[in-house]
Chain A
Amino acid sequence: NAGVTQTPKFQVLKTGQSMTLQCAQDMNHEYMSWYRQDPGMGLRLIHYSVGAGITDQGEVPNGYNVSRSTTEDFPLRLLSAAPSQTSVYFCASTTPAVSYEQYFGPGTRLTVT
């Protein structure tokens, strides 16, 4: 099993550009989440999904969109990048029975200039 994979590993965007961060998992997990990690702030939840076709907002959803058309994939879209979105983005997945035990991907480092 590859676990949770994320692409790209690194990305530089200009202010106003849009892009999609990809996340895929091969563990058949119903739950998937997106977090951002900033220095001194801890992981903060952006959006999450409890199954295909179901998404909900987390703590910091503004400027981001998600969709979940399949169990395996959970892309995160930045609509119009801003310097405040410079961060490391992590995707995670888990099952409802032990939803506290999240499996994280390796992260995407995004810089917005």
Chain B
Amino acid sequence: QKEVEQDPGPLSVPEGAIVSLNCTYSNSAFQYFMWYRQYSRKGPELLMYTYSSGNKEDGRFTAQVDKSSKYISLFIRDSQPSDSATYLCAMSVDNYGQNFVFGPGTRLSVLP
């Protein structure tokens, strides 16, 4: 079993839809969680960062962590074609960048 799992997609949704992207993990010691967005042929860029359980909102994006289920989610409201990208989750026991374990990513396509 991989340490961090994501459905690879592709996930296609119409413009304006609410999108839910998810990751499951096996290491119960993970307590720092991140979501990166990666456009085609580009490097990843940090989208959301959360610590421990709970929700964090930033504009149209909400990150949710459920440590009891070892499950994290990223919700995108009012999705736009510009949200079409691959979304990578990453998580770590500590806060050091080099210790984060990345999921394989989910490819999202938002259709106009």
Contact = CB atoms under 8 A, between A and B. Distances in A.
Interface of B: 4, 8, 32, 34, 41-46, 49, 88, 90, 92, 95-98, 100-105
A45 B8 CA distance: 20
Interface residues of A, number: 25
Interface string A38-72: 01111111001000000010100000000000000
Contacts, number: 59
A68 B97 CA distance: 18
A94 B95 CA distance: 12
Contacts of A44: 102
B102 to A, nearest CB: 4
A23 to B, nearest CB: 11
Given A41-B104, A107-B42, 5 more contacts: A40-B104, A42-B104, A100-B34, A104-B45, A107-B43
